[in-house]
């Protein structure tokens, strides 16, 4: 089955840029989606189809995908961005949705 690998944690100071990676075999050939989840809340879609943003998501959130790594980039990080972030793909070979293990973003 397809596996997505994320770093367990990323720390960044306010105002700096956070980059959260999502590794997978030839992930560049898939569409990658990213969710933000704050404690006690349901996940929220922040980036879809590698780099598109849903309405209402600040343009500080961006995404890229190439080769074996997809990246969620959060610019000008704010305290309110502190959350768990999950990448997700559809694995057509198994007809399964796959989530990465999640990355906890800490704003120092």
Partner 1 sequence: QVQLVESGGGVVQPGKSLRLSCAASGFTFSSYGIHWVRQAPGKGLEWVAIISFDGSNKYYEDSVKGRFTISRDNSKNTLYLQMNSLRVEDTAVYYCAKEAANEDWYFDLWGRGTLVTVSS
85 binds partner 1 (CB under 8 A): no
* Using rule CB under 8 A, residue 63 touches partner 1: no
Nearest alpha carbon to residue 83 among 9, 6, 3, 1: 9
* Binding test (CB under 8 A) with partner 1, winner from 14, 15, 54, 67: 54
Q: Out of 7, 23, 28, 101, name the contact with partner 1 by CB under 8 A.
A: 101
57 binds partner 1 (CB under 8 A): no
Binding segment for partner 1 (CB under 8 A), chosen from 16-24, 37-45, 60-68, 73-81, is 37-45
Cα dihedral value 3, 65, 103, 79, nearest 10: -170
The secondary structure of 43-80 as a DSSP string is -EEEEBTTTB--TTS-TTEEEEEETTEEEEEE-S--GG
Residues 2-31 close enough to bind partner 1 by CB under 8 A: 31
Question: With contact defined as beta carbons under 8 Å apart, do 27 and 5 qualify?
Answer: no
Which residues of this protein are in contact with partner 1, per CB under 8 A? 1, 31, 33, 35, 37, 41-45, 48-49, 54, 84, 86, 88-90, 95-102
């Amino acid at each position: 089955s397809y596996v997505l690998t994320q770093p367990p944690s990323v720390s960044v100071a306010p105002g700096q840029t956070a980059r959260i990676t999502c590794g997978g075999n030839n992930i560049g050939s898939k569409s990658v989606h990213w969710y933000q989840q704050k404690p006690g809340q349901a996940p929220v879609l922040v980036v879809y189809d590698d780099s598109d943003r849903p309405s209402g998501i600040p343009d500080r959130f961006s995404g890229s995908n190439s080769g074996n790594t997809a990246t969620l980039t959060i610019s000008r990080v704010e305290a309110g961005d502190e959350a768990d972030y999950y990448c997700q793909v559809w694995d057509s070979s198994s007809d399964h949705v796959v989530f990465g293990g999640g990355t906890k973003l800490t704003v120092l």
